[in-house]
Each structure stands twice: as structure tokens, then as C-alpha cells.
Amino acid sequence: MEGTIRTLAENARAASFKTATLSTDSKNAALTRLAELLEVKTDDILAANAKDLEAGQQNGLTQALLDRLRFTPERIQGMAEGVRQVIALPDPVGETIEESTRPNGLRLVKRRVPIGVVGIIYESRPNVTIDCAVLCLKSGNACILRGGKEAFHSNTILAEITQQALADTGLPAEAVQLIPTTDREALNILLKLDEFIHCIIPRGGEGLIRFVAENSRIPVIKHYKGVCNIYVDKDADLDLAESIVENAKCQRPGVCNAAENLFIHRDIASEFLPKIARRLVGNGVELRIASSAANHLDGTDIPHNPATEKDFHEEFLDLILSVKTVDSLEDAIDAINRYGSGHSDAIVTTDETTAETFLSGVDTATAYWNASTRFTDGFEFGLGAEIGISTDRLHARGPMGLRELCTYKFIVYGTGQVK
């Protein structure tokens, strides 16, 4: 197996030298062909995906995980649309980041260039195969993909379609490769090939991400989990707050930008908590409520369970929400910085000063004022798609698109200067 994975990495590195110098038109031609093939081969994709769904049900995957795994014609069309959005985006390769001229006449240009070979390790969501391949190609990188066993058939056909698009347009098929096994040993081998691979991006559960970070010789860009929080301030528009909380928790609970914790200012808790609790329970949400807030549901028939300290650290990825009251804006910021994972956090308020204090004070990759956390997504941010969401600080943070898949080099123009 070691020889197979090493050869795959060597081929990716060789392909990366070619992709780094491709014209924008060449890259866009391959992406256009890929979007066409996704639509043409929808039935084949659905057939492969059905095998994964059947196996997932037999293996006891939760409904939330099955939803992450499931393709529909609409989701496949959405993938194709995502590819076309990336085509329409500016090519970041070759952009000038900054420029200066030294006293001796040397002109220095800091220019954006591809990273090289990017390894993406992911679980469950097979659309990641296309998102990553497309972004890596447009940014001039080669990529090595390693999906989870639960999506093996779906990932395989998507990788095959991508390689067909590359071959049809005269580009190296080795620019996008899928590791042809889900054996953990293949991952261990991959993570040691720092001579060929320049960056690893893990996407999946906290256990996978920690395993990758602890075992990789290659730099890792990551977020461990998405414990996203909403704070409803004493000056909130409560109807607006209801809508935002419902959307952030219920619209698609099995994703990393769904809300897991709700903090409510004590001054409006007696009015707001029963209203939002009834609305959430009506959507099938299990409420876990701290003792400080539970009394605001006294005299109601709204079902709820006591929250533990552990609950507020938990990424449920399900219709479960932890709720607590806070005494002040400062307490809300402290609670979010304590419990949150630095992914996405929101405040609902009509007070601009309060909002700006919150936006500055929460230690998070994405801070919202009067909007759902569900927008932390490359597609929603206009990136076309995303390679992942980073809660790191070097070199990318938040949804990672084309520019975050580039590094830079210094280009120095001289007229004969010597030192």
C-alpha cells in the first residue's frame, strides 16, 4: 500500500507543476466540462449514492448523517451551479498582493501563487469531492482526496467524472486523485509524505481532525468542531430573534454552522424563552436548559431537560439546543468565548454599540449581527464553494476559497544590481 500512495503523491506533485502555470481559460474550460458531466451523469451519481445510503442505514447512521450523505437531483444541480460560480470568479493566481521599490532600484512584487499539492481528508459529505477539486484546480493546485467509507461509491464516481473532465480538456488527470481505499493505514502513509504534499485540510468529526493534526508531518488547516452560539440581547427585536434562532438550529441541524447554544439576556428571558421554546419544540428540537433559565418555563407545558456543563461544549449536529440566561453583554461574550469553538457566533440586538462590542469581543472566525449562523459557507460568501472552514489563525480563517488556497512568492526586478 505504501508504494501505491507514494506513487499517487508523486503524480500529484508532477501534475501541480503543470496546473500552476495553466491559463485561466484552460482551467475554466475543464470546469465547464465538469459542470456539464455532473448534469449528464446525474443518474449514475444517484445510483452510486444509493449504495452508500443503503450501507449507511444498515450500519446505523443517524438521520442527520444520512442527510449529509444523501444526493438528490437538486443537490447535484447545486454542485454543478457551484462549479459555474467558481468559473465566474477571478483567477487569484498571479495577482499582485503588494509592490515596492527599494532605494537601490530593485522592484519587489509579492505575487499570489498556488500552494502546490493539497490533501483533503473528509467524512460523509460527498459533495466535498467536487468542491475541493474545483477550488484546487481554479487556484492552480493539484489535490489528493481521501473520503470516508460511508461515501466511498459516491466519492469514486465524482472523482472519475472530474478526471474525465480534465482529460477531455487536455489537462493532467492526476491533478485530482482519490485514494482508492478507506483503510486507515493509507491515511497514515499520506500524512508522512511532506516531500510531495504541502497542506492537509481535514473535514469531518472532531476525532478525525485531531487524529490528522496529531499524526501529520504536513501543515494542517482545520477546525475541530462547530459549537456555534446565538446571543439574544435585552434590546433585541424578539420576532426577528425567533426567526434567526429557528433557522440557525432547525434549517439543517447536521452541519457545522448550525447553532448549538442559545444565550438570552435575563431581562427579556421571561418573555422570549417561552415563545422560542414552543417554536423550537414544534420543530422537533430537544431543549436542554440551564437551571438559571428553567424557571422561565414554569407553568408551561413545554418539554425540556436540564442542561449540564458538558452540553454547552457539545457539537450535537442534531435537533438539540442548550439554553442559558446571562446577566449582561459581557457575560454573553465570556460564555461564547468559553463554550464556543471559534466558528460562527451571532448577536440579535437593535443597539449598534452593543452589536459592535459583541462583534469585536467574541473570539470567532465569523461574527454575525442580526443574521443566522447558517451563512458561514463558501457558497453563501460568494466564494463559489469552500475547501473548508478554518478556526486557525495561520494562514486562513473562516470559509476558505480560492485566495486561501494560494501562498505567495516575491518577484524581484532588477537592472543589474549586485550586493
Higher pLDDT, 108 or 182: 108
In terms of DSSP bridges, do strands 259-265 and 228-232 run parallel, antiparallel, or are they unpaired?
Answer: parallel
Superfamily classification of domain 228-375: Aldehyde Dehydrogenase; Chain A, domain 2 (3.40.309.10)
- Mind listing the pLDDT tens digit for each residue in 74-86? 999 999 998 998 9
Q: What fold characterizes domain 2-222+400-413?
A: Aldehyde Dehydrogenase; Chain A, domain 1 (3.40.605)
- Mind listing the pLDDT tens digit for each residue in 98-115? 999 999 999 999 999 999
Residue written as cell 519587489? Answer: 108
- Mind listing the pLDDT tens digit for each residue in 337-391? 999 999 999 999 999 999 999 999 999 999 999 999 999 987 788 876 678 889 9
Local confidence band at 203 (pLDDT 50, 70, 90 cut-offs): confident
Where are the CATH 3.40.605.10 domain residues in the chain? 2-222+400-413
Could you tell me the three cell numbers for 239?
420576532
Where are the CATH 3.40.309.10 domain residues in the chain? 228-375
> Which of the 8 DSSP states describes residue 192?
T
Task: Label residues 276-290 b or e (16+ Cβ within 10 Å = b).
Answer: bbebbbeeebebbbb
Closest by CA to 283, choosing from 255, 317, 319, is: 319
Which residues is 111 bridged to in the sheet?
96, 409
- In the chain the first and final C-alpha atoms are separated, in Å, by 50
Closest by CA to 86, choosing from 384, 340, 400, 388, is: 384
Please tell me the pTM assigned to this model: 0.86
Q: What percent of the chain has pLDDT over 90?
A: 86
